Every structure is written in C-alpha cells, then in structure tokens.
Amino acid sequence: MATRTIRVDYLARVEGEGALDLHISDGHLVKAALSIFEPPRFFEALLRGRNYTETPDIVARICGICPIAYQMSAVHAIEDAFGVTVGGQLRALRRLIYCGEWIESHALHVVMLHAPDFLGYPDAIAMAGDHSDAVRNGLALKKTGNELLRLLGGREIHPVNVRPGGFYRVPQRSELAQITENLKAARDQAIGLVRWVATFPFPDFERDYEFVALRHTDEYPFNEGRIVSNRDIDIDIADYESEFEERHVAHSTALHSLLKRRGAYLVGPLARYALNFDRLPATVRALAAEAGLAAICKNPFRSIIVRALEIVFACEEALRLIADYEPPKEASVPIEPRAAFGFGCTEAPRGICWHRYGFAADGTIQTARIVPPTSQNQPSIEADLEAVAAPMVSKADDVIRSRCEQSIRNYDPCISCSTHFLKLTVHRT
C-alpha cells in the first residue's frame, strides 16, 4: 500500500490559521477535513459583565475587514432586547455604512485574493503586471468603500461611531455629497469588474446547496429580514436556534454550524443572490444576465461574479441613500435597558452573522452568542472539497492542491472570525 503526503505549510490569501487534510485510499477520496487550529478568541466570554453600550466597540474587534457586520448584528440585538426601533434616516445610514463594508471587503477579495486563482498567478502582485487596470480599479473600489466607512464610522478599520440606537454623530448632506462622485466612478469600476471576472475560465462544477440568507419584504438584505432557505426554512431571526446548531468537531477549534434536520448549508453571496434575485435593481439583474448568470447560481467558483455584482449593487444603493438623505434631528434614539434577551442577524459580506445576548436590568451582558458566517460555511467548504477533489485523485498533488485552495477561497473564509492559514495535507494510502 503506497502512501503519499502533500504538505502545504502556508495557504496564502485566506484569513486565519487552518489546514486542509485530504485522505485518499486506494484511489478514492475518503475524507476532506478543514482543520482550524487558530486559538479560540473567547469574545463571547469577554462580553459577559460588560455594559451593552460597550458592545459595538468590542465586537468590531472580531474582524478588521467586516467590523460593521458585527456592530450591526449587535446593535440590532440590543435594540430588540430593549424594545427600540431605529427607523428613518438612521436606518438608512446603517444601510449606507454596510454598503461601504461590502464594497471594500468584496473588492479586496475579488481582485487581490481570488482573481489570481482563475488567471494562474501566485498572487495579485504577479497578476498586476498583466492586468494593471483591473488591479487599479479594485484598489480604487476598496478605497471608496473605506471612505464610506471613515465618513460614517469615524475610521476605516474598527469604526467607532456606531452605537445602540444609531450613531454618535451623523453626517451633514455636504459631507455625503463629497463622496458621490467617487461612488459614481466606483459603480463604473464595479461594472467593469463584473465584465472582467465573467471572462474567467470556470470549472464545470455545481452542488445542490441549501442556501440560507436574510430576506426582506422589499430590499436586498443588509440589516433586516427573515431567515429563509431554498427549501422550507422561513423563520424569524429569534428562532435561529430551532433550526440550526453548532457542533464541536475534533479537527477544528471553530464550531461547525449545521441545519439540525439536514446538515451543511451555505451562506454568503451565492445564497443571498439566489434568495433575493428579485430584490436586486433591474440594472444589476441585467448585468448578471450579461455576465451569464441565471437567477440561481450553484457553481461556487462563479461566486466571484456574484461578489462583483454585489459591489455594483452596493454602489447604486449608496448613491440612492445619499440622494435621499436628510440629516436626522438626533444622532440616536434613546434606550432604556431592561432584563431581556435580544437577537440580531445581518448580512456580512460572507453571509449571515447571528447574535444573541441576554441582559440584566441595568444593561449588563449576562450571556452572548455569536455565530459568524465562516462557522456556518465550514461544513459546506468540506463538502465542496470532497466533491471537487474526488474526480481529481489521479492527478498530481500540485493540481489537486491548487484547485482545493481555489475552492476554499470561493467562500472568502475568515477563519479568524470563526475561531476565532492553511496547511494542505494529502494522505494517500
């Protein structure tokens, strides 16, 4: 019995620390395990005993690229617990800051992290020599997204202006007007990005995913909606734990989220798109058709096109919100704490980010539970890897490795968020 082992000590362009083990026996793939060994970060324990007002600034530290997702899920959960509704322009500003996060996060992933896989470059620096305009546009998009975060959040990394009930400070119309021209340019750059990535060579690969995303009555979802799937799930966010559970697995320090009844599911751009296609503006739907996408896409490699489409959407939505903006009289609505539980669920760039908090009467956090999108996608990543690698076992290890890395990056996984890099080992017996 021959044994071959392939080891990749460092998988670039994936956030966090982990490893992939492929077990191949007698020419058949037996198991694919995404092993996450990054130490747990204990944010939920860290939150206990802190006042609810501190939550947005603490949870923002979970992720440097999607802090708004954590802040938004947290403030919605707090407001849910304390019976507060934030509407009008404050709600619009929350959508606007989320647009900034989607633009900068998606642009970084699409151009700098994922595109090199499709074009055969080791990294974006090598790719930039032949695709300089695309890289320049990607960087310009990221900069515009960061500008929105800085304007509304006070700074682009770990913003500090979000608070329960709204913001500490709201912008004047003139401040938002200053970014309008950049957003118009960003929309054009994003349209160009969609057309560029649509030309990439895509593996002929589909899986029958259970897509899970928020669905709102009339919006492409950022902050609000019911949790729905393409099968039979349609629940209030407070009922998340009735359908979903997290399990410890021996090979990962991150919990695996699963559907209690059916196992793996998929969150993120492909799921949002499939479940909310009709909520996209006609311009974005037309661009999707031009890029060769139907209303549902089951090829995870084409998620790069969906991300680019979501950048276009975020630019259009940001421009719409700015055009309609009137500064609210107050930067936040008053909040009175009470003993209660609250739930929040918003659409991070990588998928739904679910929070639950229990508060004492004075607003002290007694319990906290945070389910990030990468935890939810881990079982689906492993299922993808098994399906991708199984027909390739006779190929050279380098070929398998390259395709598996690309498959993992389809998810734009943030392992640091879910635990809180990646070694690839192929075991052949």
Partner 1 sequence: MTEAAARRVLVAGLGNPDRGDDGIGPLVIKKLAGLLPADVAVAPANADVLTLMLEWADFDAVICVDAAAPLTTAGRIHRFNLATDDLPRDRPPASSHAVSLADAIKLSRVLRQAPRDIIVFAVEGASFAAGSAMGPDVAGAAADVVGRVVAEVIRLRQNFNDLAADT
Task: State the residues that interact with partner 1 by CB under 8 A.
Answer: 10, 12-15, 64-65, 108, 112-113, 124-125, 128-129, 132, 135-136, 139-140, 142-143, 146, 155-157, 414, 416, 421
**In angstroms, what CA-CA distances link 137 with 126, 131, 148, 312, 378?**
16, 10, 17, 13, 31
β-bridge partners, 348: 351
Q: Shortest gap between Cβ of 119 and partner 1 (angstroms)?
A: 15
Write down the least CB distance from residue 129 to partner 1, Å.
5
Record the tokens describing residue 156, joined without a space. Answer: 């682009």
What is the Cα–Cα distance from 15 to 421, expressed in whole angstroms? 6
Smallest gap from Cβ 113 to partner 1, in A, equals 6
For residue 139, the number of C-alpha atoms closer than 13 Å in the C-beta half-sphere is: 9
The DSSP secondary-structure symbol of 110 reads I
Residue 146 C-beta: closest distance to partner 1, Å: 6
129 versus 201: smaller Cβ distance to partner 1: 129
What is the nearest approach in angstroms of partner 1 to the Cβ of residue 156? 6
Residue closer to partner 1, measured from CB, 129 or 334? 129
Rounded to an integer, what distance in angstroms lies between the CA atom of residue 352 and that of residue 76? 13
Find the shortest distance in angstroms from Cβ 412 to partner 1.
9
Nearer to partner 1, 20 or 113 (CB): 113
Which residue number, 155 or 261, has a Cβ lying nearer to partner 1? 155
Give how far the C-alpha of residue 145 lies from the chain's centroid of Cα atoms, to the nearest Å.
15
Q: Which is nearer to partner 1, 12 or 323 (CB)?
A: 12
Alpha-carbon distances, residue 366 vs 48, 50, 61, 363, 369 (angstroms):
5, 8, 20, 9, 11
Backbone angles phi, psi at 346, to 5 degrees: -135, 170
Here the tokens at position 137 are 């546009």
Q: How many C-beta atoms surround the C-beta of residue 169 within 10 A?
A: 11
Residue 188, by phi and psi: left (phi above 0), alpha (psi -120 to 50) or beta?
alpha
Name which of 124 and 404 has its Cβ closer to partner 1: 124
Q: How big is the CA angle at 418 (ends 345 and 386), to the nearest 5 degrees? A: 110
Tell me the DSSP string of 183-239: HHHHHHHHHHHHHHHTTS---S------BEEEE-SSS--SS--EEEESSS-EE-GGG
User: Is the Cβ of residue 146 or residue 376 nearer to partner 1 in the bound state?
Assistant: 146
Q: Which is nearer to partner 1, 14 or 59 (CB)?
A: 14
Closest contact distance (angstroms) between CB of 149 and partner 1 is 10
Q: Tell me the three state secondary structure of residue 14.
A: coil
Cβ closest to partner 1, residue 365 vs residue 408: 408
C-beta of 108: minimal distance to partner 1 in Å? 7
Tokens of 369: 């539970």
Q: How far is the CB of 235 from partner 1 (least distance, A)?
A: 32
